[in-house]
Amino acid sequence: MTSVGIDAIEIWTGNLELDLPGTFAPAKGEDPEKYTKGLGLQSSSFPDSYEDIVTMGANAAYRLMDRKGLEPVDIGRIDVATESAFDNSKPVSTYIAGCLEDVFEGDFHHANKGERKFACVAGTQSVDDAYNWIRAGRNRGRAALVIATDTALYARDDPGEATQGAGAVAMLIDEDPNIVELSTEQGYGSADETDFLKPQQQFPSVDGKRSVQVYLARMREALEDYESVAGDTHPDNFSYIPFHTPFPGMVRKAAALGYRNVIRDTDVEDTLADEIGRQPRPEAFGDDDAFLEATKEYTEALTETDHYQTWYEGTIEPTLTISRSVGNWYTGSVHVARASALQHALENDVDLAGEKLLVGSYGSGAQAEVHAETVRDGWREEIGALSIDDQLERRYSLSFAEYEAIHDAHNHDKDVETTELTTPEHEFVFDGWGRMGERKYRFVE
Ligand code: CAA
């Protein structure tokens, strides 16, 4: 069977940075530890006034194609996943293809282009679409370019403002991939939920506390569905478990729930029984509330054990490093988590080839997806080529007044004059509006 998966990856961050404990928390009159300890965030990325989902996506794709020596003729499909689209008809992928055609020889006239929407899970769905297209043998030897790009901005003073971010991830999906091969087995947890939505509006309507519960409920369903096709999972089977990361504190909760589920009836539950007892079973309780309370207590005790903490430090914590510095990138977030884990392995000289990852994606509204990935021999070279650390280092750090101005600059309902805070270099920039209201772009050398 043909091996299909992620062959290459590039990450592009917005060029601005907001220090959450240092700048945002004091301006909001909040304790900085809410950010560092509670949400698990240090800073968030923002787009400068000349950046948007097209420039960030095109810049990530440009770097990827340039580094891999690809030309448009090598790409048979361009799918963009975003929940920040500005056009209900013309997909972002056409804008990005237009940008790329300005700098590469040839064109994408025979590539299928589209835009995927299901909140943050759309990035993984686009990877799926590309995987299926290749496995169906419809790709004519060509690869697919999947770009997850978002400006995750919330209305000012919405609790979600703490978790903003902006950036793009470009992935090349191909046969015989260098980074990871995807499993055919997948699990889904999907339900009609009203937790986070943007009904014809730029900034989301969010029921934040509920969104956390919906994330956990759908992720548990997806994990159970995955196990129903792939067989029981065990924590020791996976080197890393990247989750969708709206903020690291969310993953802390998801990891505890996932771990509790997969250790049930295993040697791990037996080993921990002396210390914290066995997991509550529903049949031992008269009502749901008592069972849920007992489960909550067991989970809290579980996360205090050395056993759990060692697993968490090794398997989950490394997936969160980049996220702590960039915030939520919506569709790109789980793909940033995977890259973060692989960077950790590279820096620590871990031999990952042949090892497995379990990937948990999530989109509000709501749907979770779980699948496994097998790390391929070429992962070191690909991950070693990432420039995200340098990019993060180069970001311009915003004062609170500058943050307010840049938030206004990206607010579609406001018409404000803003000056650039950074100087674009070797990247695509927004270049004003065309006669039909289209956005125009140019490449700055
Ligand atoms: N020291 C240490 N910890 C502190 C603290 C302090 N001084 N102050 C607060 N905290 C902790 C809190 O206890 C809490 O942690 P727990 O949940 O583990 O108890 C955490 O910091 C956050 O504090 P609050 O709950 O008080 O924060 P909040 O009311 O401002 O809201 C939020 C948090 C609901 C996540 C909000 O930021 C939000 O609405 N975010 C957007 C929605 C979101 O990201 N939801 C996630 C699931 S949906 C999803 O994943 C899709 C997506 O990408 C949007």
**244 a catalytic residue:** yes
Strand bridging mode 43-46 / 75-81: unpaired
pLDDT computed for residue 417 by the predictor: 85
Burial class of residue 415, CB neighbours in 10 A (0-12, 13-18, 19+): exposed
Q: Where are the beta strands (DSSP E) in 153-273?
A: 165-175, 180-190, 196-197, 205-206
Examine the pLDDT at 125 and tell me if it is beyond 90: yes
Res. 161 pLDDT band, cuts 50 70 90: very high
Examine the pLDDT at 21 and tell me if it is beyond 80: yes
**120 a catalytic residue:** yes
pLDDT computed for residue 210 by the predictor: 97
In a 3-state reduction of DSSP, which class is residue 152? strand
Ramachandran area for residue 29 (φ above 0: left; ψ -120 to 50: alpha; else beta): left
Nearest CA to ligand 1 atom 47: 212
In a 3-state reduction of DSSP, which class is residue 189? strand
Q: How far apart (Å, rounded) are the C-alpha atoms in residues 90 and 126?
A: 17
Is the torsion defined by CA of 205, 209, 212, 215 positive or negative?
negative
Is residue 305 within 8 Å of residue 275, measured between CB atoms?
yes
Per-residue pLDDT reduced to its tens digit, 174-203: 999 999 999 999 999 999 999 999 999 999
b/e map of 126-157 (b: 16 or more CB within 10 Å)? bbbbbbebbbeeebeebbbbbbbbbbbbbeee
Question: Which of the residues 10, 17, 51, 120 is marked catalytic?
Answer: 120
Computed over every residue of the chain, the mean pLDDT equals 97
Res. 411 pLDDT band, cuts 50 70 90: very high
Whether residue 144 is preceded by a cis peptide bond, meaning omega within 30 degrees of 0, is no
pLDDT-above-90 percentage for the chain: 98
Nearest CA to ligand 1 atom 51: 364
Q: Which residue from 31, 39, 334 has its CB within 8 A of the most atoms of ligand 1, so it is best to mutate? A: 39
CA 71 to chain centre: 27
Examine the pLDDT at 1 and tell me if it is beyond 80: no
pLDDT computed for residue 418 by the predictor: 85
Output the six-digit token pair for 130.
């590309």
Nearest CA to ligand 1 atom 34: 208
Least Cα distance to 368 among 358, 360, 376 occurs for: 360
Nearest CA to ligand 1 atom 44: 246
Per-residue pLDDT reduced to its tens digit, 232-263: 999 999 999 999 999 999 999 999 999 999 99
Q: Cβ atoms within 10 A of the Cβ of 168, count?
A: 34
Spacing, Cα 196 to ligand 1 middle (Å): 14
Spacing, Cα 297 to ligand 1 middle (Å): 20
* pTM exceeds 0.95: yes
Spacing, Cα 303 to ligand 1 middle (Å): 19
pLDDT computed for residue 62 by the predictor: 98
Q: Which residue from 30, 211, 243, 336 has its CB within 8 A of the most atoms of ligand 1, so it is best to mutate? A: 211
Nearest CA to ligand 1 atom 54: 246
Q: Where are the beta strands (DSSP E) in 203-311?
A: 205-206
pLDDT computed for residue 310 by the predictor: 98
Spacing, Cα 438 to ligand 1 middle (Å): 37
Res. 127 pLDDT band, cuts 50 70 90: very high
Q: Which residues pair with 167 in a beta bridge?
A: 13, 150
> Ligand 1 pocket by C-beta < 6 Å: which residues?
31, 33-34, 37-39, 120, 159-160, 162-163, 196, 206, 208-209, 211-212, 215, 244, 246, 249-250, 328, 330, 362, 364
Q: Cβ atoms within 10 A of the Cβ of 115, count?
A: 20
pLDDT-above-70 percentage for the chain: 100
Please compute the mean of the pLDDT values over residues 283-288 and round it to a whole number: 90
Nearest CA to ligand 1 atom 28: 159
pLDDT computed for residue 286 by the predictor: 86
Contacts of 346 (CB under 8 A, 6+ apart): 380, 383, 384
Res. 2 pLDDT band, cuts 50 70 90: confident
Question: Which of the residues 10, 51, 115, 244 is marked catalytic?
Answer: 244
Higher pLDDT, 282 or 380: 380
Nearest CA to ligand 1 atom 31: 159
Instruction: For residue 247, give the DSSP letter.
Output: S
Spacing, Cα 277 to ligand 1 middle (Å): 30
The ligand 1 atom at the shortest distance from the C-alpha of residue 154 is 41
Spacing, Cα 316 to ligand 1 middle (Å): 19
Give the containing element (helix H, strand E) for 302: helix 288-304
Residue 412's alpha-carbon distances to 37, 219, 321, 403, in angstroms, are 33, 33, 31, 16
Is residue 104 within 8 Å of residue 78, measured between CB atoms?
no
Q: Which residue from 28, 44, 212, 250 has its CB within 8 A of the most atoms of ligand 1, so it is best to mutate? A: 212
Spacing, Cα 84 to ligand 1 middle (Å): 22
